[in-house]
Amino acid sequence: MKPDNKKQPSLLFTPIKVNGVTLKNRIGVSPMVTWQAAANGIPNDFHLAHYGSFALGGAGLVMVECTAVEPRGRMASADTGIWNDAQVDAWRRITMLIKSQGSVPGIQLGHAGRKASTTKIVKRSLSDHESGWPTIAPSAIPFGGAIDRVPIEATLEDIDALQQAFVSAAVRSVRAGFEIIELHYGHGTLSNTFLSPISNHRVDRYGGSLANRMRFGLETVRRVRKVIPKSMPLFVRLSVTDYADNGWSVDDSVEFAKQLRAADVDVVDCSSGGVVDGINYTPYNTPDVQHRASARIRSEAGIATTAVGKIVDPLKAEALLRDNSATLVFIGRALLNNPHWPYTAADLLATEHTFKYPDSYDWCIGWKGFYKWRQSLQKDQNNN
């Protein structure tokens, strides 16, 4: 049954301002790696078509995949990067296309840490004769399983250089035309492994206590915030739990979110897991864990959040916004299945005032556009 939009306008299709940027709706493309770049990290025609399809499909925010801040930070050699000007130029044509369709382009900046130097899809560490490269992490502890390369333990000088790599990537992202930046602190990436006591065994100021383990991430946020426009939204994707005893917890995430808010982060993007090898996530119902954590962080830390995880039903997306579980929803697999998922959601939830199809589609999809087209056609016939 279609909701009575006159009584209860859809939140999913209500524009929202995040810092200085207005999104036409609250649908975001969740950052998803594609492993389609060449070894130089330059995005290509695949990325232009891939991300352009989401913009044409009506998503308010098109967040591109996790993009490496330095060559060593690539998960696989086919990851995209933004550590040089050639990559900036290639990204710029993609951001221009996204903006031309009325969507906002965002980029997720990340460093794979001890999960770098792996094969695509079926993940295992590359050997040296397969052109593998040295990896780096807070502690010299491999991820485990087939990703068995032992990372270098970062020195204090390394930590400064790694943070500077994020800063330089942020500057380049602005030049490339991105209007939102997200720092990837989840899924077992470098920043995530500083947070978790399972992967961080340091005994200096970057390890041990919760405050020390948060230090790398908070310092990076502050350094990035200084070099981007004040009005530019800054997101952080966070794994809200390790799903492991004595690991990172939702309680830790709430405290970290409070610190992120104080450091002028605008949105916490709530995902989970990725630090511990061999976790069976099925019994935990990860989408429910993530959505409940999003609600807690939004309420207790007083910061905007995104809900992510198997959101395929527009009514579910609407409910997450309506019950204050999230500020935005990030969609992944549903948009891969149908880049025009927002049209499907609009058929169910939106009114003519809250959703507009592209002009090329509106004449046949939008009833009002079709009616105007018929009127125009009849007028031309009468004049002739």
What does pTM read for this prediction?
0.94
Write out the residue range of the structural domain in which residue 26 sits: 16-351
pLDDT (tens digit per residue) in 195-204: 999 999 999 9
Q: Which of left, alpha, beta for 333 (phi over 0: left; psi -120 to 50: alpha)?
A: alpha
Q: What is the largest CA-CA distance in the chain?
A: 85
% of the chain with per-residue pLDDT over 70:
92
User: Is 362 within the bounds of a domain?
Assistant: no
User: Is 376 within the bounds of a domain?
Assistant: no
pLDDT (tens digit per residue) in 229-253: 999 999 999 999 999 999 999 999 9
pLDDT confidence bin for 381, thresholds 50/70/90: low
User: Is 277 within the bounds of a domain?
Assistant: yes
Over range 339-364, report the average pLDDT. 82
Over range 30-41, report the average pLDDT. 95
Number of domains observed in the structure of the chain: 1
Specify the pairing of strand 328-331 against strand 104-110: unpaired
CATH number of the domain encompassing residue 180: 3.20.20.70
Handedness of CA 151, 157, 163, 167 (dihedral sign): negative
- Res 5 pLDDT > 50: no
pLDDT, greater one: 360 or 318: 318
User: Is 257 within the bounds of a domain?
Assistant: yes
User: Is 358 within the bounds of a domain?
Assistant: no
User: Is 381 within the bounds of a domain?
Assistant: no
Q: Cα–Cα distance between 153 and 172 in angstroms, integer?
A: 27
CA dihedral 222, 225, 231, 233 (to 10 degrees): -90
User: Is 2 within the bounds of a domain?
Assistant: no
pLDDT of residue 350: 77
User: Is 193 within the bounds of a domain?
Assistant: yes
Q: Are 123 and 147 in contact (CB under 8 A)?
A: yes
